[in-house]
Amino acid sequence: ALAQETLKVGLILPMTGPFASTGRQIEAAAKLYMQQKGDTVAGKKIQLIVKDDTGVADVTKRLAQELIVNDKISVMAGFGLTPLALAPAPLATQAKVPQVVMAAATATITEASPFIVRTSFTLPQATVPMAEWAAQNGIKKVVTLVSDYGPGIDAEKAFTGAFAGKGGQVENLRVPLANPDFSPFLQKVTDAKPDALFVFVPSGIGAQFMKQFVERGLDKSGVKLIGPGDVTDDDILNGMGDVALGAITTQHYSAAHDSPENKAFVEAFKRANPNMRPNFMAVGGYDGMHLIYEGLKKTNGQGGQALIDAMKGMSWTSPRGPISIDPQTRDIVQNIYVRKVERVNGELYNVEFATIANVKDPVKAAK
């Protein structure tokens, strides 16, 4: 008999370095998915090959090249930061290998290759509802503080445009992505006395921000903390302490999301990874694996153009709620929830209290 054919999925993630929490979350979720669903799809064995790009884009690109040429992968997935998602995009196009972006969230990423599909989110998608909530809840003056690269700039522009459009006043500050020292920026916030501070930092960096926020006394200044949910990431939120209580954020996933699918997901994730709580990166990885499995079922194991076409328009119920892949843009359509940090059974959670249903990336929707 012929040996069973193997389909390889290359999972390229920052497993070490400052963004290792993103890599750990996605790897754990992808492995959980395979443990739950088995490793056979369309009669073929699925092999997950995890590679550590250390958060360096040149490394991501080299690893993608090796996985395509030497390992003959059917799909590449992961991509923990925007520069890491953009670097291999030309290879996806040339080799016709679908690239499933499970983390990176700058709006334009899906335009870098017709083989890119995304299961994370976009910053404008998560942020416009924050501007609307702020405008409707008595906030008149906001300072934005964002990491100075793709997703931060997306968040700043989306918030400023939507909030100023509702008559709000905004001042913009940008902090370097690498080794950020927030203190000079927080001094400016203290001086400006806004009603709210809007913050975007990538997943895993929120704890550093929060520590300096407290050291500068901003927790006692009456300045409300708002932003997309990256700053109150479920992986690190519980370690931040009471200073995080009351922060209002908008995002697509909370470990406290109240649905049977999410309860099962969180329970299984914690059982498999006893010291972790799944965050929005984990759900992007879990759904990315679902998209790969279901796509391969539809193509009977074929990759390339057939696989990316099979992924377009797919819809399912994720732990985050109902989601679909927009067939035109290959970007994710999903609910955005307004949440408040609260203590529930002794742990800090982003507790959802309002839902904006079926949100498309507003940047591409406007084109």
Q: Which is nearer to ligand DHB, 168 or 288 (CB)?
A: 288
Question: By CB under 6 A, is residue 202 in contact with ligand DHB?
Answer: yes
Give the angle 31-35-41 at the CA atoms, nearest 5°: 95
Q: Which is nearer to ligand DHB, 230 or 361 (CB)?
A: 230
Question: What is the sign, positive or negative, of the torsion defined by CA atoms of 275, 281, 282, 285?
Answer: negative
Question: What is the sign, positive or negative, of the torsion defined by CA atoms of 225, 228, 231, 234?
Answer: positive
Q: Which two tokens stand for residue 98?
A: 């679908």
State which amino acid sits at residue 354: A
Pick from 219, 248, 274, 192: nearest CA to 28: 274
**Site mask for ligand DHB (CB under 6 A), range 128-167, x = bound:** ----------------------xx----------------
> 296 — phi, psi (to 5°)?
-65, -35
Q: Please, are residues 16 and 52 in contact by the beta-carbon 8 Å criterion?
A: yes
User: Exactly one of 53, 219, 230, 361 binds ligand DHB (CB under 6 A); which one?
Assistant: 230
Q: Among all residues, whose Cβ is closest to ligand DHB?
A: 202
Q: Which is nearer to ligand DHB, 81 or 112 (CB)?
A: 81
Instruction: Determine the size of the site formed for ligand DHB (CB under 6 A).
Output: 12
How many Cβ atoms are within 10 Å of 147's Cβ, its own excluded? 23
Tell me whether residue 350 is exposed, middle or buried, using C-beta atoms within 10 angstroms of its C-beta: 0 to 12, 13 to 18, 19 or more: buried
**Site mask for ligand DHB (CB under 6 A), range 12-41, x = bound:** ----------x-------------------
Element of type H or E holding 337: strand 332-344
Question: By CB under 6 A, is residue 119 in contact with ligand DHB?
Answer: no
Q: Which DSSP category does 107 fall into?
A: G
User: Exactly one of 106, 119, 299, 329 binds ligand DHB (CB under 6 A); which one?
Assistant: 106
Q: Which is nearer to ligand DHB, 277 or 307 (CB)?
A: 277
Q: Please, are residues 3 and 43 in contact by the beta-carbon 8 Å criterion?
A: no
Q: Which is nearer to ligand DHB, 61 or 296 (CB)?
A: 61
Q: Which is nearer to ligand DHB, 121 or 349 (CB)?
A: 121
Question: Which of the stretches 103-111, 128-136, 212-220, 288-296 binds ligand DHB when contact is defined by CB under 6 A?
Answer: 103-111
Q: Which is nearer to ligand DHB, 15 or 104 (CB)?
A: 104
For residue 168, give Cα distances in angstroms to 72, 126, 159, 161, 247.
Answer: 52, 19, 10, 10, 19
Q: What is the largest CA-CA distance in the chain?
A: 75
Q: Which is nearer to ligand DHB, 97 or 104 (CB)?
A: 104
Using CB under 6 A as the binding rule, the residues of this chain from 63 to 82 that contact ligand DHB are 81-82
Q: Which two tokens stand for residue 264?
A: 């099962």
Closest distance of CB 259 from ligand DHB, Å:
22
Closest distance of CB 230 from ligand DHB, Å:
4
CA 364 to chain CA centroid, nearest Å: 18
Closest distance of CB 288 from ligand DHB, Å:
15
Q: Please, are residues 53 and 308 in contact by the beta-carbon 8 Å criterion?
A: no
Per-position DSSP letters for 272-305, written without gaps between them: HSTT----HHHHHHHHHHHHHHHHHHHHTT--HH
Closest distance of CB 153 from ligand DHB, Å:
11
Q: Which is nearer to ligand DHB, 197 or 296 (CB)?
A: 197
Closest distance of CB 353 from ligand DHB, Å:
22
Question: By CB under 6 A, is residue 203 in contact with ligand DHB?
Answer: yes
Q: Which two tokens stand for residue 7?
A: 């389909």
Residues forming the site for ligand DHB (CB under 6 A): 22, 81-82, 103-106, 150-151, 202-203, 230
